[in-house]
């Protein structure tokens, strides 16, 4: 693989010479959508793209995240291929933990694996605070991307403290988060200190991306859906609030899986946009959230392997349902599955762009 990679200018959704702040995505996030309907996909840069597999060949995940040229190339790949209305920064929620001295690896087919799980104060003390310059590779990569993207916005992201804590405590992915929940309720002082440190790390990661030019951010609380509303409010919400409070100068998207019963609380954490998975209609989510939030979602990613007539009707259904919200960013209800045909995603983007504004306007017409 060459030492440096080049990118080509991305399509823009805001017109020649426009600023990302006036893009379809940012306007929708600000609940000033107008006639357009922006679309991007979680995990749009990744394993479903042959060009991604080619440039990642022989390079470990975390190593790829630390190479600005490679980060820029991978981030740009879906923008070039699909013409989506936003790029999502190619990285991983584990990157700040790695920078904080956590011995971890991302194992193919399994996910993050922590060498020494954090389950007591000794483990907690192994987390070092962020230092200026420890994410210089992120700053460099964002700078490369902003220059290439032009008017197309870049979305920065980070993992929420609860989700990061669950990986640290469990030592890797979990089905029931039993150790995490036991620590959360059994030693609230330790949990408070752990999440406080993780909130600083996540906020530092987001702030670094925004200061370098990201136009919006998404906070992933992937495993928040494992919590009851009461436990989320007591033991996750306060620290997500601290993270999102550090990036009030850009639109903030807050997303979790299985969080239909937590949507209003996730909005209260400081979101401008609440991401909704495929389990409830966007119209139902809007009823729970009220008029103060835009929504993002929510085609079931598992349906991307269905016949096209089925997919296109489900896309239209999601657009109709999202029209009840004051802003709608079309997306999947979770990330792009690795076996997805890229041509299907391209057709979804074309359909959203071609029919989305008219469908939304038809629903909103008095």
Distance CA 288, CA 282 (A): 10
Please report, to the nearest 10 degrees, the dihedral formed by the alpha carbons of residues 136, 46, 101, 250 taken in order: 50
Which one has a higher pLDDT value, 14 or 244? 244
Contact 232, 262 (CB under 8 A): yes
> Whose structure tokens read 């966007």?
282
Q: Give the per-residue pLDDT at 222.
A: 92
Q: Which fold has domain 25-364?
A: TIM Barrel (3.20.20)
Q: Give the per-residue pLDDT at 366.
A: 67
Residues 27-52: what's their mean pLDDT?
94
What percent of the residues of the chain are helix, what percent strand, and what percent coil, each to the nearest 5? Answer: 50, 10, 40
Q: Give the per-residue pLDDT at 10.
A: 40
Of the listed ranges 66-75, 123-132, 210-219, the one predicted with least confidence: 123-132
Q: What are phi and psi of 111, to 5 degrees?
A: 110, -165
Contact 168, 102 (CB under 8 A): yes
Asked whether the predicted pLDDT for residue 6 surpasses 80, the reply is no
Q: Give the per-residue pLDDT at 14.
A: 45
pLDDT digits (tens, 9 = 90+) for 309-360: 999 999 999 999 999 999 999 999 999 999 999 999 999 999 999 999 999 9
pLDDT digits (tens, 9 = 90+) for 209-233: 999 999 999 999 999 999 999 999 9
Distance CA 52, CA 49 (A): 5
Residues 60-80: what's their mean pLDDT?
97
Q: What percent of the chain has pLDDT over 90?
A: 86
Q: Give the per-residue pLDDT at 9.
A: 39
Q: What are phi and psi of 11, to 5 degrees?
A: -60, 150
Length of the chain: 366
For residue 322, give the nearest of 363, 269, 271 by alpha carbon: 363
Active site residues: 43, 47, 56, 92, 167
Q: Give the per-residue pLDDT at 16.
A: 43
Asked whether the predicted pLDDT for residue 135 surpasses 90, the reply is yes
Q: Give the per-residue pLDDT at 130.
A: 78
Q: Per-residue confidence at 107, pLDDT binned at 50, 70, 90?
A: confident
Q: Give the per-residue pLDDT at 11.
A: 44
């Amino acid at each position: 693989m060459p030492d440096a990679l080049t990118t080509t200018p991305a399509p823009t959704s805001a017109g020649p010479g426009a600023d990302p702040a006036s893009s379809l995505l940012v306007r929708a996030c600000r609940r000033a959508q107008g006639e357009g309907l922006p679309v991007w996909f979680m995990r749009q840069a990744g394993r479903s793209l042959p060009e991604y597999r080619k440039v990642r060949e022989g390079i470990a995940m975390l190593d790829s995240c630390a190479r600005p040229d490679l980060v820029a190339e991978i981030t740009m790949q879906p923008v070039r291929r699909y013409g989506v209305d936003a790029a999502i920064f190619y990285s991983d929620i584990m990157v700040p933990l790695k920078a904080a001295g956590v011995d971890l690896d991302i194992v193919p087919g399994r996910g993050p694996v922590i060498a020494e799980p954090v389950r007591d104060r000794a483990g907690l003390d192994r987390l070092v605070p962020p230092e200026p310059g420890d994410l210089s590779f992120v700053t460099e990569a964002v700078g490369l991307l902003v220059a290439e993207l032009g008017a197309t916005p870049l979305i920065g992201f980070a993992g929420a403290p609860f989700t990061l804590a669950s990986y640290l405590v469990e030592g890797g992915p979990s089905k029931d988060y039993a150790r995490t929940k036991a620590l959360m309720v059994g030693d609230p002082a330790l949990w408070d200190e752990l999440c406080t440190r993780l909130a600083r790390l996540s906020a530092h990661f987001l702030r670094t991306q925004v200061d370098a030019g990201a136009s919006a951010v998404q906070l992933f609380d992937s495993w928040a859906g494992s919590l009851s509303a009461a436990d989320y409010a007591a033991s996750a919400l306060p620290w997500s609030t601290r993270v999102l409070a550090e990036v009030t100068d850009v639109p903030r998207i807050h997303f979790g899986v299985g969080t239909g019963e937590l949507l209003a609380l996730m909005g209260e954490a400081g979101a401008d946009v609440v991401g909704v998975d495929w389990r409830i209609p966007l119209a139902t989510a809007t009823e729970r959230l009220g008029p103060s939030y835009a929504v993002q979602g929510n085609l079931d990613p598992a349906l991307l392997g269905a016949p096209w007539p089925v997919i296109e009707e489900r896309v239209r259904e999601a657009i109709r349902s999202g029209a009840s919200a004051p802003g709608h960013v079309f997306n999947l209800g979770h990330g792009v599955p690795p076996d997805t045909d890229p041509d299907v995603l391209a057709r979804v983007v074309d359909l959203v762009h071609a029919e989305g504004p008219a469908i939304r306007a038809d629903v909103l017409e008095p």
